[in-house]
Amino acid sequence: PPQPTPTPPINSAAFDEAIATVLNDLGTRLKSAGQIQAALDLYLQASALCPRHHVTWYNIGVMYGEMNQPHQALSYYQRALSLQPHFAHALSNAGSVLRQLGRLE
């Protein structure tokens, strides 16, 4: 009888990145629906799975900004910028937070 073709092994990093992308997208949908805490929870899960994904760190910053926690927001924008230094949205939001905190020079 013919032998079944073996299934290739799952690349764990690629799998984690794919799941993180789905969680990030779901978080964005929840944010749009006004479910800020639920969105934040999904973004945090996504960041744990794929810490290299700069957009997730940015999204966490946005959530903290909307929750009026500028210091937290700034730290997450800075994390996004450490991964993608020219990320315009993170640069803009970080600048806005620095201005809000009176730390813009």
CATH code, domain carrying 42:
1.25.40.10
Q: Looking at residue 104, what is its pLDDT?
A: 66
14 pLDDT band (50/70/90 cuts)?
confident
Residue 80 lies in a domain: yes
Residue 30 lies in a domain: yes
Residue 7 lies in a domain: no
CB-CB contact of 61 with 73 (8 Å): yes
The residue-averaged pLDDT of 44-69 equals: 96
Q: Looking at residue 99, what is its pLDDT?
A: 94
More confident residue, 4 or 86: 86
Q: Looking at residue 64, what is its pLDDT?
A: 97
Residue 43 lies in a domain: yes
Q: What percent of the chain has pLDDT over 70?
A: 94
Q: Residue 45, exposed/middle/buried by CB under 10 A (0-12, 13-18, 19+)?
A: middle
Residue 2 lies in a domain: no
CB-CB contact of 47 with 53 (8 Å): yes
Number of domains in the chain: 1
Q: Which of 2, 19, 21, 23 is nearest to 11 (CA)?
A: 19
Handedness of CA 92, 53, 30, 73 (dihedral sign): negative
Residue 37 lies in a domain: yes
Domain of residue 32, residue span: 12-100
Residue 28 lies in a domain: yes
Residue 45 lies in a domain: yes
Whether 41 shows a pLDDT value over 60: the answer reads yes
Whether 90 shows a pLDDT value over 90: the answer reads yes
